[in-house]
Amino acid sequence: MAELELLETRDLTRIERIGAHSHIRGLGLDSTLEPRSVSDGMVGQTTARKAAGVIVQMVKDGKIAGRAVLLAGQPGTGKTAIAMGMSKSLGQETPFAMLAGSQLFSLEMSKTEALMQAFRKAIGVRIKEETEVIEGEVVEIQIDRPAVSGAASKTGKLTLKATEMETVSFSRSRDYDAMGPQTKFVQCPDGELQKRKEVVHCVTLHEIDVINSRTQGFLALFTGDTGETSAEVREQIDTKVAEWREEGKAEIVPGVLFIDEVHMLDIECFSFLNRAFENEMAPILVVATNRGITTIRGTNYKSPHGIPIDFLDCLLIISTQPYTEEEICKILEIRCQEEDVEMSEDGKVLLTKIGVDTSLRYAIHLITSAALACQKRKGKLVEMEDISRVYELFWDVKRSTQYLIEYQSHYMFNEVPTGEQEEHEANAMVS
């Protein structure tokens, strides 16, 4: 029983770790920013990946602000995946904030406040501080427990040492082998035990806002329920940070703000973005959309990607292209590995064909369910039969649309006039 429970919990944590993009570990570029055809979980889409790499390099160099990039392409062509890859290759120190356009309308704050917070989550401040530290190798710890219960006397002793012979503490490192790969060896410090040292903290402007806003404590950072920060508090913080910069105590680290489904923003959000850009502390803005020429939310005007022309004009556009059969096969293979699913060659061929005929996403979704079907018949390898079974169980968009057209009169609020029926049927057959 105990063993069973253990197994279950382990499986659960494993499942939680697999998200739609968990196989993406970076952009898969070499040191000269040339894309490797398959690397870091990334397949194909080389031009877009290279362009994204150039942007990441610009961010890392840290000098420029207020650029914006649009990832534009059909659904399932890897726009979100590339943004994830960018975030992975930026490194720990550079802030990366992510927001989906639709989220702006569901938060308990105004749209512009939510955007402002997202902007400030993407701007880091590296603060240098000099503090007094006592630093040495621990050579002895003594704990004196009180002899009589209730007695107050509790003394302890910690002995630290510093050395001038740098190699001493390293030579002993091989004596212990019960250490993980994260264990880092450091030199035993030399010189005085007590010294002044420069410490560097990296925080985002948003974190400074929350810590300083009177209504919220810093604990709000953990719950995420940070509420709104008043404009005055922000102004004071900006002034303070500017002072620190002048005194050489702080540096600004512009990060990346990624807004997915940018067509969900309305005209007010776009004009906010237009202005927020001009700030010298602005992060690099990366937005993505799969829309063609469509109405700009909040207006009656149409424009490419549903983005106002003046904003569109500030954007560098990276276009993503549909995948070839070979690339789809490779992506599906990587996803099988990620989900710990072993699939027969025939199975892979069938799944790739499904991916080509329907969509990459639908094929990816079938992996998990086909593996369950395989498990149920106590098989080891996911075979064609498992895939066919789940293909029958779960429909893709094309089949579902076809069904709707055939049985439309049985549904409520049907909006296709009977005359158009044949036309729709024909369309569904073609696409």
Ligand X SMILES: Nc1ncnc2c1ncn2[C@@H]1O[C@H](COP(=O)(O)OP(=O)(O)OP(=O)(O)O)[C@@H](O)[C@H]1O
Binds ligand X (CB under 6 A): choice among 79, 120, 263, 389: 79
Binding flag, residue 80, Mg ion (CB under 5 A)? yes
Which residues, 6+ apart, have CB-to-CB distance to 19 below 8 Å?
none
Binds ligand X (CB under 6 A): choice among 20, 64, 199, 393: 20
Q: Which is nearer to ligand X, 82 or 210 (CB)?
A: 82
Cβ atoms of 75 and 291 closer than 8 Å: no
Q: Which is nearer to ligand X, 26 or 41 (CB)?
A: 41
Token digits of residue 417:
């006039």
Q: How far is CA 421 from the centre of its chain?
A: 42
255's contact among Mg ion, ligand X, none, with CB below 5 to 8 A by partner kind, is none
Q: Are strands 302-304 and 38-39 parallel, antiparallel or unpaired?
A: unpaired
**DSSP symbol at 408:** G
Q: Which is nearer to ligand X, 125 or 287 (CB)?
A: 287
Binding flag, residue 365, ligand X (CB under 6 A)? no
Which residues, 6+ apart, have CB-to-CB distance to 104 below 8 Å?
111, 114, 115, 264, 265, 269
What minimum distance in Å lies between the beta carbon of 214 and ligand X?
39
Binding flag, residue 87, ligand X (CB under 6 A)? no
Please list, residue by residue across 146-159, b when 16 or more beta carbons sit within 10 angstroms of its beta carbon and e when fewer do.
eeeeeeeeeeeeee
Q: Is 140 exposed, middle or buried (0-12, 13-18, 19+ CB in 10 A)?
A: exposed
Site for ligand X in 181-220 (CB under 6 A): none
Residues 252-291: x/- map of binding to ligand X (CB under 6 A)? --------------------------------------x-
Residue 62 and residue 83: Cα distance in Å, rounded?
A: 18
292's contact among ligand X, Mg ion, none, with CB below 5 to 8 A by partner kind, is none
Of 39-47, 102-110, 311-319, 414-422, which segment contacts ligand X by CB under 6 A?
Answer: 39-47
Residues 345-364: x/- map of binding to ligand X (CB under 6 A)? ---------------xx--x
Angle, helices 205-212 vs 231-246, to 10°: value is 120
Binding flag, residue 6, ligand X (CB under 6 A)? no
Q: Which residues bind Mg ion (CB under 5 A)?
A: 80
